[in-house]
Amino acid sequence: MKITAAMVNELRQKTSAGIMDCKKALTETEGNVDAAIKLLREQGLKASELKRDRTASEGLIVSYIHGGNRIGALVELNCETDFVARTEQFQQLAKDIAMQVVASKPRYVSREDVPADVLESEREILRNQTLAEGKPEKIVDKIVDGRLNKFYAENCLLEQPFIRDTNRVISELIKEAITVLGENILVKRFCLFILGQD
């Protein structure tokens, strides 16, 4: 199948990928745009893994104050260069993450940030609940591990479903931005403010 400039342009509009990447993806998928989008996303996620270890010391601190001025958040989102920090896409990502913090009230950035004592306490509570439900002892630990994933999704920002598209979690949103912007991006920290609460 002949890959036309119009097809390449359409794919670029949908993915923000480079011209040659779009042409190659369309060629590999025989002109199927949906399959090409999927292929580019898969390739992009692999590329983002390679960038994960690069130093990210530039970026932005953004705020989001919800209507009524009773709840707000500050988020530090880092990237590798000031150039990327000034892009519209990076700034929008930072705002979306700040809004996510206000809406979903995570306690930690990632599961690695959950203190060991909090995790052990949660594991013990879940284990006791599972035993009280009459589950066999030999499968209790597997059930607890599954329920801990729910705990992480509720309490860890990177594992929360994105409020604007619940089919994606925040870490996927960041990986997609890494693919498009070509730099490592990470949430350094955040702070949630709720009026009248410490």
pLDDT at 15: 67
d(CA 158, CA 102): 14
Q: Where in the sequence is the domain holding 125, given as residue range(s)?
A: 115-154
Q: Indicate if 93 and 163 belong to the same structural domain.
A: yes
The strand ranges marked E within 85-164 are 161-162
Q: Indicate if 148 and 160 belong to the same structural domain.
A: no
What's the predicted TM-score (pTM) here? 0.70
Counting the structural domains of the chain, the total is 3
**Residue 74 forms beta bridges with which residues?**
63, 191
Backbone angles phi, psi at 78, to 5 degrees: -105, 150
46 pLDDT tier (thresholds 50, 70, 90): low
**Residue 165 forms beta bridges with which residues?**
162
pLDDT at 54: 59
Q: Indicate if 95 and 10 belong to the same structural domain.
A: no
Backbone angles phi, psi at 46, to 5 degrees: -65, -40
In the chain, what percentage of residues exceed pLDDT 90? 53
Dihedral, 181, 182, 188, 193 alpha carbons, nearest 10: 10
d(CA 105, CA 154): 8
Residue 170 belongs to domain with CATH number: 3.30.479.20
Q: Indicate if 22 and 78 belong to the same structural domain.
A: no
Q: Indicate if 105 and 161 belong to the same structural domain.
A: yes
Q: Indicate if 71 and 94 belong to the same structural domain.
A: yes
pLDDT at 164: 93
Q: Indicate if 93 and 20 belong to the same structural domain.
A: no
Q: Indicate if 105 and 187 belong to the same structural domain.
A: yes
